[in-house]
Amino acid sequence: MPEPTEARPVDPRAEPTAEQLATRLTAAVSRLLRRLRTTSSESLLTPTQRSVLARLEGEGPATTAALARAEYVRPQSMRLTLGALEGQGLVERAPDPADGRKSVISITETGLTTLAAVRAAKHNWLAEAIAAELDGAERRTVAEAAELLDRLVGK
């Protein structure tokens, strides 16, 4: 299998192709996401745990099976994830009002606080990096790029 090619610097005078931009943007976004994931590692939450908490916050209570489907994991794996979150007091179980044989998982106040802290750590790291690394003109360029990316992904 051939080695992936490194993104080469683009001549600022040449108009890049859609393929070149797609390659560079994918690489840059991947590095940014990796960095953001590691920024809040002191929270002791795995990416899956953070994702489950965010889903419960945004979509409300759900069954283990529904969360497993939404996160593309096996129900057994989701049970382990939820067990760890429950052990930390970040989620709680209650009987499903529609089917007493099932449990519904919801996020606790502690879970909301933890999720907010993780998000704040990521936001603060990015804001500090922007402030330290980019001058005013570069910040305006990044702001324009963010608007274009919003448009590209359909806000």
pLDDT one-digit tens code per residue, 16-60: 899 999 999 999 999 999 888 888 666 678 889 999 999 999 999
- Residue 135 backbone phi and psi in degrees, to 5: -85, 180
pLDDT one-digit tens code per residue, 106-141: 999 999 999 999 999 999 999 999 999 999 999 999
Question: Which pLDDT belongs to residue 11?
Answer: 67
Is residue 3 predicted with pLDDT exceeding 80? no
**105 sits in which H/E element:** strand 103-107
What burial class does residue 105 get, using C-beta atoms within 10 Å of its C-beta: 0-12 exposed, 13-18 middle, 19+ buried? buried
Give the angle subtended at the CA of 97 by the CAs of 93 and 102, to the nearest 5°.
Answer: 55
C-alpha to C-alpha distance for 62 and 30, rounded to whole angstroms: 29
Sign of CA dihedral 81, 86, 89, 95: positive
C-alpha to C-alpha distance for 45 and 89, rounded to whole angstroms: 13
Question: Which pLDDT belongs to residue 41?
Answer: 60
Reported pTM: 0.77
C-alpha to C-alpha distance for 84 and 89, rounded to whole angstroms: 9
C-alpha to C-alpha distance for 106 and 92, rounded to whole angstroms: 6
Question: Which pLDDT belongs to residue 98?
Answer: 86
Is residue 88 predicted with pLDDT exceeding 70? yes
Instruction: State CA 12 to chain mean position distance.
Output: 31
